[in-house]
Amino acid sequence: MPENPSKNAVVTGASSGIGEATVRQLRADGWNVIAFARRADRLAQLAAQTGAAAFAGDVTNDDDVARLLEFAAETFAGSGGIDTLINIAGGARGADHVANAKDEDWDWMFQVNVMGTLKLTRAFLPALRSHGRGTVLNLTSTAAITAYEGGSGYNAAKFAQHALTGALRLEEAEHNIRVIEVAPGLVQTEEFALNRLGGDKEAAQKVYQGVEEPLTAEDVAGVVGYAVGLPHHINLDQVTVRPVAQAAAHKLIRR
């Protein structure tokens, strides 16, 4: 990896979707990147294609997070240390109303979206503070801003991640750590709706049916790359990103 002391990032959720696209975007922009996700085979392909360093593990596993921290310290030792943590890992499971909510779906969403973000951020804060110009970017969702029917579990998890992000910004400003939140609306990726709806391909396709141009993973990755690439004194507190067809959470144009 080429030395670049001001551009050393860890990206979670990097084996697909927005996480993978973010790794590709940052590498194209000249960043040194560690791609972190559970699926080692997909990470290996991404590393071969982009030159990113791959590290397989689970954001909810304390041992994996500790090993990642050590790996990052070694990988970036000669180029100024890590300065940017990008928490992309997350997702939704189920679309039940509260009356039919499944404990296991809620538990999974809170573990991945909230506890995963907490564990990674807590682990890397000492290194980011030591660097002196650190950045944490958390990918939330417009589900963190507006509740909707059938979204209660995902709303709850993303509202919690949003609140964590806001508190972190207040707590770490004195350490010159900027904290950015990017909240996408409708993004068509290969797995998000499919995973949420239990692998039902027909139901997943209906989520995007008739929407002329939903956002893509690359669209969101471009916003992430822009936000972390700005001069460090500029903090984009919260960026809401929607397709034009989605004027609000309750207004989606389908042709």
Q: What percent of the chain has pLDDT over 70?
A: 98
Residue 82, in any domain of the structure: yes
pLDDT (tens digit per residue) in 206-221: 888 889 899 999 999 9
116 and 19 in contact (C-beta within 8 Å)? no
Active-site residue list? 154
Give the pLDDT score at 6.
Answer: 66
pLDDT (tens digit per residue) in 82-127: 999 999 999 999 999 999 999 999 999 999 999 999 999 999 999 9
Query: Is residue 5's pLDDT more than 60?
Result: no
Residue 70, in any domain of the structure: yes
Residue 2, in any domain of the structure: no
Report the number of distinct structural domains present in the chain. Answer: 1
Domain span at residue 125 reads 8-252
43 and 54 in contact (C-beta within 8 Å)? yes
49 and 113 in contact (C-beta within 8 Å)? no
Residue 86, in any domain of the structure: yes
Query: Is residue 13's pLDDT more than 90?
Result: yes
Lowest-confidence range among 35-44, 122-131, 188-197, 237-246? 188-197
Is this prediction's pTM over 0.85? yes
Give the distance, in angstroms, between the CA of residue 48 and the centroid of all CA atoms in the same chain: 22
Task: Report the CATH number at residue 139.
Answer: 3.40.50.720
Residue 1, in any domain of the structure: no
